[in-house]
Amino acid sequence: MQEMSSKEIPVVLTEKLDEQFFQSRTSKRSPIIFRGVDIGSCRLKWNADYLADAIGDHEVKIHVSSQSKLDFVNRNFLYKSISLKEYIRRSSQAPGLPLEEFFIDPHEKYYLRSLGGDVRKEVADVHKQYPEIATDLNLPYVFSADRFFSSVFRIASPGSQLWTHYDVMDNLLIQILGDKEIIMFPPSDLPYLYLQGDKSVILDPDNADLSQFPLFASATKYKSKLLPGDIVYIPALWFHNVKALNFSVAVNMFWKNLEPALYDNKDVYGNKDLVPAARAQQGVDKALKALDNLPAAYKEFFTLKLISRLQASLSGSS
Amino acid sequence: MQEMSSKEIPVVLTEKLDEQFFQSRTSKRSPIIFRGVDIGSCRLKWNADYLADAIGDHEVKIHVSSQSKLDFVNRNFLYKSISLKEYIRRSSQAPGLPLEEFFIDPHEKYYLRSLGGDVRKEVADVHKQYPEIATDLNLPYVFSADRFFSSVFRIASPGSQLWTHYDVMDNLLIQILGDKEIIMFPPSDLPYLYLQGDKSVILDPDNADLSQFPLFASATKYKSKLLPGDIVYIPALWFHNVKALNFSVAVNMFWKNLEPALYDNKDVYGNKDLVPAARAQQGVDKALKALDNLPAAYKEFFTLKLISRLQASLSGSS
């Protein structure tokens, strides 16, 4: 059995994270952890009680699952609405103890949905949605203001783990309270990750079944533990999987690192493929549809030929 | 170094080759050699002198090359017009001796072009083009008359070798005079053959440079020697490479084994991709064009995603 390649995400110590410093450390568009950045009073003030008091009356949408590994492909979770106060109370309870109040299972796990005020139209913006705590947060704006897309609250219960996926925008994950484990894979690992859309069907990258997913052995895993105050840069297209090790509060910032016109303007999550990529996908869907009525052997042959054409374009451009 | 997989094309002895017998031996659409079939008086009568007398006044188009391995991709040959008498005289000369009259090289090789009477519009039909010798030939019609596409004269000088390619129609190669070596690869070997269009860039499948073409080591070679009177079935999509071991005369018969509407009606050679396949290719070309203006890393990523989509459709259909 092939030993899977594993790397650490590099850590840079810095108090100040501005656009210039950020650019100097990310010219290769690889992940990096900035540690020691002054992110404001949230680092000291935020805990379950403070947040419940300050913003507890907001209603939130959450994922609820009896399993710690959320599975988007097979939907092993429900969406529920709940007050943030109640959500924080449940999520911050000591892990391992059964919940007194629950939706489906006394050991159920939670993960906040990242939604704007008007779910279908607005992107999330922590400052707008939670003005009560906005001044606690000193977010690092490492990009031009007009490229800002969204800032998203991430509150998770201990052990909850989000599916491996990629986003099309650059992204800073600012860990504020609690610890997380992050696993990343470079964009070139796409062929080894068994995607459905933007998500991998491999739910546990630390214990993948290689007889079911043999190509996964060729992937290169970047793995690190995030501590409170850590800011990790997740470049667009890098696959990532995040697990809360305890009650965890974080904020994500997404921005459009490419020409804004390239992004789908109906995208509220920042994970829809770029406009040209969606068009390309349509071209391939049409191609497959054209072949659909041929006998299986012909369909397979001409599909192989299309793959070969695409592969040739890869080697041509590199 | 991986040892390349090699097989013999099976041989069936039979005097009579009709549609029913043919179907019974080719239900798996694999190549097969029919030996001993009565193909008419051509087997005894045809030689260089007879053919020069009977049809020598016809003008033909030929490939001329100083190299034995014709290379369509790099065009190492010229097209010339010449009388069939002269063509036969040169092609049937004892191999190794320099030609007295030649176009480019006293050791040049020849291969007849397969063209109809009106080069751009008509498909080749041996009976129509060469009525003088039509009655010598007893061609095996193993398909309904309305599926017939073309019959093509193949006259080649010793050592000349045609590029590895596939055709989209089923095909019988009827060896009449001289010996040939035929190498075939199944359609599923497409990813290993470094195609440009319908042709492999590997000119010598017996001595391929595996450092340049590493995937070729995964191909499965079917190899056989064809003797006068042999009829080899070359199923549509099977790659084939044919070398004349001496002065060689053969006839090919192509027919539309699928619904006739699926074939490109501007195709005079029988090697244009099926209409749905050409449409599929256009879809993929559009897809690549859509990605063209993205930064290289994004283009590569979304191309990998398209490949992965096509590969998923393959495993879905099998």
Q: What is the DSSP string of A18-84?
A: -HHHHHHH-TT---EEEES----THHHH-SHHHHHHHHTTSEEEEEEESSSB--TTTT--EEEEEEH
pLDDT category of residue B120 using cuts at 50, 70 and 90: low
Amino acid A275: pLDDT: 96
Query: Per the CB < 8 Å rule, is A195 touching B308?
Result: yes
Q: Given B190, B286, B309, which is nearest A304 (Cβ)?
A: B190
pLDDT category of residue B111 using cuts at 50, 70 and 90: confident
pLDDT in tens, chain A (318 residues): 456 889 999 999 999 999 999 999 999 999 999 999 999 999 999 999 999 999 999 988 888 888 888 787 788 888 889 899 998 998 888 878 898 888 888 988 888 876 655 555 667 788 888 999 999 999 999 999 999 999 988 888 898 888 899 999 999 999 999 999 999 999 999 999 999 888 999 989 999 999 999 999 999 999 999 999 999 999 999 999 999 999 999 999 999 999 999 999 887 777 789 999 999 999 999 999 999 989 999 999 999 999 999 999 998 643
Amino acid B191: pLDDT: 95
Stated as kind and residue range, the H or E segment containing B252 is strand B248-255
Tally Cβ neighbours within 10 Å of residue B13. 9
Please indicate if any CB of chain A lies within 8 Å of the CB of B14: no
Amino acid B162: pLDDT: 85
Per-residue tokens: B264: 């490109």
Q: Per-residue pLDDT tens for B23-36?
A: 999 999 999 999 99
B130-162 CB burial, b ≥16 within 10 A, e <16: beebeebbebbbbbeeebbbbbbbbbbbbbbbb
| CA pair distance B34, B25, nearest whole angstrom | 10
Q: Per-residue pLDDT tens for B131-174?
A: 999 999 999 999 999 999 999 888 898 988 888 999 999 999 99
B206-241 CB burial, b ≥16 within 10 A, e <16: eebeeeebeebeebebbebebebbbbbbbbbbbbbb
| CA pair distance B139, B150, nearest whole angstrom | 12
- How many whole angstroms from its chain centre is CA B252? 9
Query: Per the CB < 8 Å rule, is A279 touching B300?
Result: no
Share of chain A above pLDDT 90, in %: 67
**In Å, how far are A177, A185, A202, A252, A255 from A9, measured between CA atoms?**
20, 11, 21, 18, 21
Please indicate if any CB of chain B lies within 8 Å of the CB of A215: no
Per-residue tokens: A112: 């906040």
**Paired strand residues for A59:** A83
What is the least distance, in Å, from the CA of A4 to any CA of chain B? 21
Query: Per the CB < 8 Å rule, is B310 touching A303?
Result: yes
**In Å, how far are A101, A152, A176, A186 from A226, measured between CA atoms?**
30, 17, 10, 19
Superfamily of domain B5-262: Cupin (2.60.120.650)
Query: Per the CB < 8 Å rule, is A300 touching B318?
Result: yes
Q: What is the residue-wise DSSP string for B152-183? A: EEEEE-TT-EEEEE--SSEEEEEEEES-EEEE
| CA pair distance B50, B136, nearest whole angstrom | 12
Amino acid A142: pLDDT: 96
3-state secondary structure of B133: helix
| DSSP 8-class letter at A137 | -
Range in A208-222, B71-85, B295-309 with the lowest mean pLDDT: B71-85
What pTM value is reported for the model?
A: 0.88
* A193 and A200 Cβ atoms separated by less than 8 Å: yes
Write down the residue that tokens 């979304």 correspond to: B302
**In Å, how far are A289, B279, B310 from B285, measured between CA atoms?**
15, 10, 14
Q: Per-residue pLDDT tens for B198-244?
A: 899 998 999 999 999 999 999 999 999 999 999 999 999 999 999 99
Please indicate if any CB of chain B lies within 8 Å of the CB of A279: yes
Provide the mean pLDDT of chain B: 91
3-state secondary structure of B57: coil
Amino acid B4: pLDDT: 81
Amino acid A317: pLDDT: 47
Amino acid B317: pLDDT: 47
Amino acid B124: pLDDT: 77
**In Å, how far are A65, A177, A290, B31, B120 from A245, measured between CA atoms?**
16, 11, 48, 61, 72
Residue of A28, A165, A189, A310 to mutate when probing chain B, most B C-beta within 10 A: A310
Tally Cβ neighbours within 10 Å of residue A90. 21
Q: What is the ipTM of this complex?
A: 0.91
| CA pair distance A175, A173, nearest whole angstrom | 6
Alpha-carbon Rg for chain A in angstroms: 21
Amino acid A179: pLDDT: 96
| CA pair distance B178, A288, nearest whole angstrom | 44
- Residues of chain B with Cβ-Cβ distance to A297 below 8 Å are 29, 187, 237
* A301: closest chain B residue by CA: B187
Identify which of A54, A248, A18 has the alpha carbon closest to the alpha carbon of residue A135: A54
Looking at per-residue pLDDT, the higher value among B278 and A112 belongs to B278
A1 contact partners, CB below 8 Å, separation of at least 6: A210, A217
* A198: closest chain B residue by CA: B305
Please indicate if any CB of chain A lies within 8 Å of the CB of B314: yes
Identify which of A170, A187, A173 has the alpha carbon closest to the alpha carbon of residue A257: A170
Share of chain B above pLDDT 70, in %: 95
A103-134 CB burial, b ≥16 within 10 A, e <16: eeeebbbbbbbbbbeeeeeebbbbeebbeebe
Alpha-carbon Rg for chain B in angstroms: 21
Q: To the nearest 10°, the Cα dihedral for B260, B265, B267, B268?
A: 90
Per-residue tokens: A38: 């002054």
Amino acid B318: pLDDT: 39
Please indicate if any CB of chain B lies within 8 Å of the CB of A213: no
Which residues of A, range 168-187, sit inside 8 Å of B by Cβ? Answer: 187
Amino acid B117: pLDDT: 55
- Residues of chain B with Cβ-Cβ distance to A318 below 8 Å are 296, 300
Write down the residue that tokens 């005289």 correspond to: B89
